Amino acid sequence: MIDLSETRVKIDEIDSKIISLFNERMKLADDVANYKIATGKPVYDAVREKEKLLVIEGFGEDDFGKTALRELFTQIMSISRKYQYRKIADVSKTSSSVTSYSADNIGFFGGSGTYTERAMKDFFGNDTKAKSFDSFKKVCEAVGNGSIEYGVLPIENSTTGSISDIYDLLMEYEIHIIGEAIEPIDHALLGLPSANLVDITEVYSHPQPLLQCSNFLTKYPDWNTFAYGSTSKSALKVKNDGKINQAAIASKANAEFYGLKVLAENIANDTLNATRFIVIGKGGNYLENADKISISFEIPHKTGSLYSILSNFIYNNINMTNIESRPIPKRRWQYRFFVDFDGNLNDAGVINAITGLKAEADSFTLLGNYVGADKK
């Protein structure tokens, strides 16, 4: 029988040696960093790391040992890079010349009485005048070509998750996120003033509200649901068609605006249902008190790439709040990642993390640094 206490003593002795050697290795990493600062060489040397990992892997006694050694030294080299990034940190500090955002030339998705309009007014002020657009793409096109200065779009719902189209459009039109707003969603079923629930056979709304109210809709299996351009357009259709069997899922504000009757209220699956909206613009100026950052990056299509890239957040003690992936056009089974995290572009940890991300990713895009709606 093995004496467990003796074995643990031996393990502790080995761990002590590993720690000593690790500290010695990090001192050498400091020498490497100083050399790279002097010569201007990049921290990340993909060819050397690949060659070194192949050699190290060869010391494994079996398949498990080979994999374990590769994983261990991949992590060690990753830590070494983060230390070097901390010293080099080649990301310039951002000018924070903007103290607030205001404009008369604003666009938003949907129409009067929509949640997007409410988010726009919460961000820019209740007296703000703006142009409505009937698609996400048209809002982004208008910002991209300069016909409007800012646009407001929904990007994420607390019940149904992200609206993936928005992420693709951000990259297509090279626009920035300059702010966000979070709005509670109070979906209601709206019909003609003379209608009652028993009269309804058709329900219209944007695809998102239809999903967000699925539990309510399943109670009425004979109803037919139809995806429509927006909640406000759905309400307008019910009004214009004048058919007692039609209803729309929209806000109670739409009922008042279009002279409709609230047939049922608070019909969302989640009583805490809320949607996050982003404010987009063309420029790259950021508020001095910005505390949330959005980025996009692409990475090599190989084992461990995502793990390695995300370690830049871990070793710089950065809180990542969201990650999404979208297929890269014309590159089958390869993905572009979108990440939100806490921080300001002038924070030392953020500078270090972005330095590492830019060095290791195939491509990197800063989408914005803005004040998070949950911090206001």
Exposure of 194 in the CB half-sphere (CA atoms within 13 A)? 5
Pairing of strands 292-298, 246-250: unpaired
Q: Of 109, 124, 277, 337, which is the active-site residue?
A: 277
Q: State the Cα–Cα distance between residues 289 and 274, nearest whole angstrom.
A: 25
Number of helices and strands in the chain (H, E):
12, 15
Q: CA dist 350 to 125, 293, 313, 316, 353, Å?
A: 31, 9, 8, 7, 5
Tokens for 14? 């080995």
One DSSP character per residue, 324-358 reads EEEEPTTSTT-EEEEEEEE--TTSHHHHHHHHHHH
Q: State the Cα–Cα distance between residues 221 and 301, nearest whole angstrom.
A: 45
Q: State the Cα–Cα distance between residues 354 and 176, nearest whole angstrom.
A: 17
Q: State the Cα–Cα distance between residues 60 and 141, nearest whole angstrom.
A: 55
H-run or E-run covering 170: helix 164-172
Q: Of 114, 275, 337, 341, which is the active-site residue?
A: 275
In the annotation, is 275 catalytic? yes
**What letter does residue 282 receive in the DSSP assignment?**
S
Identify the bridge partners of residue 225 per DSSP, sorted by sequence position: 203
| Positions marked active-site | 275, 277
